[in-house]
Structure 1
Amino acid sequence: MIWIFIFFMNIGIDIRTLMDARYSGVSLYTLELVQALCRYGSKNNYRLFCNAFRSRDGRPPRFDYPNVSVTDTKYPNKLLNYGYFKIGKRPKLDRLLKTDVFFMPHINFVAFSRGARYVVTVHDLSFLRYPYFFTLRQNLWHRALNVKKLLQHAAAVIAVSEHTKRDVIELCRIPEKKVHVIYSGINERYHPLSAESSEARRVRSAYALPERFMLYLGNIEPRKNIESIIEAYSLYRKKNPQSDVKLVIAGSSAWKHGVVHAVARASGFFADIHFLDYVAEADKTALYSLAELFVFPSFYEGFGFPPLEAAACGTPVITSNVAALPEIAGGFALLIDPHNVAGLSEAINEVLNDKNLQQNMRERGLNHEQKFSWEKCAREVVKVFENLNSIY
């Protein structure tokens, strides 16, 4: 008689970020990774945790897999956190979901029983490295999270880049052997679209996009260095007075967004600078594809989805030579010093005036994005879970 033992784990996952009305990079990471885990880690049971009075606008999304269940405590986050600080009582998630391992796709308030095993993904530690990029309220929030203690007590930490791993080790004093670098993936919906396709025409009309434009897409906040984009664009236009290339700045307005608008008004080219609000995920592929150039001179990124997404759509990319961006985009992007506006302007001028360079950058971008797969990400995350199960 042959005995076959099938080992599986009950894995809890915090999906509270999927209740957000507008998805951030962290929200998309959670959504894509959970879907991939359900597909490629199907021998395990996934017990998803969220909390809200009621679902809205399809939040959280449905996960129609036989190995998935969702627990909703029906308490909004603010009330849950208030209870934690005022009376020290919150549901112990490992007990509530009866998990072998609990996975946090991002840093958040949680409560576990003593000895519970949990794994945390760290996307970046910008709030520790550069607190001046954040409001007082945001800094107080991050302090209340007690990130160092959270990571020190974790059974394992997943860093989305080697750069983030170094920050985790240095800033939080986490042993290197406990930190695993697992790159995020990129959704297959990002691919080049012809400007004549019905989808591209729909998006151009919906957002009143100019015929020719360079693009920034991301939150409008100090860390993203958008003022430098505007100043560099102004220098480019002065050097190329006949150019009809406009500048499109797309993304949600965050802290100090008024400064960005003020710089645009003072640039001398305000009429050629188009501000879009939040762009729906379904529209981003066409937006990237229609742009002649994507510019992303951020001061700090732990990973950086937008340059990858733009490259996957066949759009040349200029990005920063700091933090994780060279690691993620160095194989296809033109790297610049984010503090050097003149250098950024020269790079813009070089790309927009050199068709051969544009084609070379497109080809490198389309080849490079194959390195980032959600299937690969999910399989490596499952290995982290399984290794913990074999240790304990």
Structure 2
Amino acid sequence: MAKIGIDVRCLTEGRRTGVEEYTINLLREILRFDVQNEYLLFLNSWKDSRTDLAWLKEFPKVQIKRFKIPNKILNFCFWYLNWPKIDRLLGGVDVFFMPNLTFYALSRKVKLIVAWHDLSFERYPEMFSLKRRLWHYLVQPKKICRRAEKIIAVSQSTKNDLTGLYEINSEKIAVLYSGIADKFKIIDRNDKKLIAVKEKYHLPYRFILYLGTIEPRKNIISLISAYNQLRIWARKENNEDLHKYRLVIAGQNGWMMDRILKEIENSPFCEDILKINFIEEEDKEYFYNLASLFVYPSFFEGFGFPPLEAMRCGVPVIVSHSSSLPEVVEDGGILIDPNRPSEIAVAMREVLTSPILRADLIKKGLKQAQKFNWRKSAKNFITYLNM
């Protein structure tokens, strides 16, 4: 039996972006699957954690080690002093798993496994704030790669970036795909909660959905431009059906979102663009089910949870032909050039006006999304851990 430490500091804020989604779901299935090893979770937050971890009580071989050290002080100590050693704070571990990039300090004897989601900060530094770029500089991602005994890449695209940009030996990198939660599925149209969610968020009857962080990298401005073009076509063609579709942009606010908000305000169809800042986690699958179309024109993704979640819910998707998205979506969606809003608009019109294309995309999307589940991800993780 081995003692395995897992860094869960990313869960302290209570957010559910890609990294948090990955950590929670993978951890839950690892603990269900692995009954031999002992797990020690490293959690540090000066303030009370906003994440409910009560569900961990059902697993007898897991302990949460909570610390209340101010994060800035702890990170400075990790960075400048290489102290304190996390493994010693945990009482000793054989392996330490970091599900995301962050500051740390470990004893030399401890094996380090790191999960890499993407290298967007290297590919598109201009899409990150100065503060975020400084953080990446100080955390020294390339040095973490070299220290790690094993690296998990969530896609082949991410592995290619690690070997190409950081010149990391490909033999110590394994591509272990993330999963999609079972709750994402087609919901009966008569489900009472479906109606309740529609009313709760004041959703229109027909709408095109974007769900994700509101930031430049997600290319929302191109989506708005494409929607404007779609509505102009609908007006010129006197297409009443196409004219009824609204655009819903939902997700947590990121940085540099003022320009995105300005783009919405300047749209001639701004009254038909709905911006929703926050969706309750338990409402997400209903959101997807209510949408007519899901569009995700992101410039860069390490994996891409939202398109697969939408596909599992029986919603046709349009995604960028860039980074990991063609790899995970394959023929389950329409691939577009994220730099060409007109191409996005054409794809949107085709899906919304062709029942045959729509049905084909839904069928292929459901089949493709079934390939990704957290049980498989957890089993692959344990196998990789024991290699």
Q: TM-score, normalised by structure 1?
A: 0.94
Counterpart amino acid of residue 348 in structure 2: I
- Correspondent of 2:140 among 135, 146, 153: 146
Aligned equivalent of 1:123, options 117, 121, 143: 117
Check conservation: 1:19, 1:59, Cα contact below 8 A.
no
Query: 1:255 deviation in Å?
Result: 1.4
Q: How far off its partner does 1:41 sit?
A: 1.4
3-state secondary structure, aligned to 1:275: strand
Alignment match, 2:348: 348
Partner of 2:14: 21
The match for 1:3 is none
Q: How does 1:255-270 map to 2 (within 5 A)?
A: 255-270=255-270
1:61 Cα deviation from its structure 2 partner:
4.7
State how far apart, in whole Å, the 2-side matches of 1:232 and 1:226 are.
10
| Partner Cα distance (1:143, 1:59) in 2 | 32
* 2:209 paired with 1:215: yes
RMSD value, Cα: 1.3
Among candidates 28, 46, 50, match of residue 53 of structure 1 = 46
| Residue range with higher mean Cα deviation, 205-214 or 108-117 | 108-117
- Per-residue CA deviation, residues 316-344 of structure 1 (Å, 9 max, x unaligned), is 00000110000001230100000111111
CA distance in 2, matches of 1:196, 1:228: 34
What amino acid maps onto 2:32 in structure 1? R
The more displaced of 255-264 and 147-156 is 255-264
Matched pairs, number: 379
8 Å Cα contact 2:42-2:64 kept in structure 1:
yes
Whether 1:178 and 2:169 are equivalent positions in the alignment is: no
Tell me how far apart the structure 1 counterparts of residues 331 and 61 of structure 2 sit (CA, whole Å): 38
Q: Higher mean Cα deviation, 272-281 or 70-79?
A: 70-79
Task: Check if 1:337 corresponds to 2:347.
Answer: no
Q: Does 1:303 align with 2:297?
A: no
Aligned pairs for 1:132-171 within 5 A: 132-171=126-165
Task: Decide whether aligned partners of structure 1 residues 57 and 149 sit closer, same or farther in structure 2, where only a CA change above 3 A counts.
Answer: closer
Q: State the identity as a percent.
A: 41
Residues 1:111 and 2:105 are matched in the alignment: yes
Provide, for residues 57-78 of structure 1, a one-character-per-residue CA deviation record: whole Å limited to 9, x for no partner: 4444541201111111221322
1:111 aligned counterpart, secondary structure: coil
Give unmatched runs, 5+ long, in structure 2: none
1: CA distance, partners of 2:82 / 2:141: 19
| Local SS of the residue matching 1:112 | coil
1:383 aligns with 2:377: no
CA distance in 1 between counterparts of 2:287 and 2:293 reads 11
Separation in 1, partners of 2:174, 2:200: 42
Deviations 1:6-53 (A, max 9, x none): xx2111100111111322110110000110110011211111110123
Q: Which amino acid aligns with 2:144?
A: L
- Give SS of 1:220's match: coil
- What displacement does 1:79 show? 2.5
Change (3 A) 1:144 1:372: same
The counterpart of 1:31, out of the listed 9, 24, 37, is 24
Matched, 1:226 2:220: yes
- The answer as to 2:69 corresponding to 1:66 is no
CA positional deviation for 1:115 = 3.4
For residue 332 of structure 2, give the secondary structure of its aligned residue in structure 1: coil
**Cα 1:231/1:138, change in 2 over 3 Å:** same
Match of 1:5 in 2: none
Match of 1:49, SS state, is strand
Name 1:390's counterpart in structure 2: none
Match of 2:288 in 1: 288
The residue that corresponds to 2:234 in the other structure is: 240
What SS class does the counterpart of residue 331 from structure 1 fall into?
helix
Q: Is the 8 A contact 1:20 1:59 kept in 2?
A: no
Supply the distance in 2 between the matched residues of 1:131 and 1:21 (Cα, whole angstroms): 26
What is the letter of the counterpart of residue 193 of structure 1? I
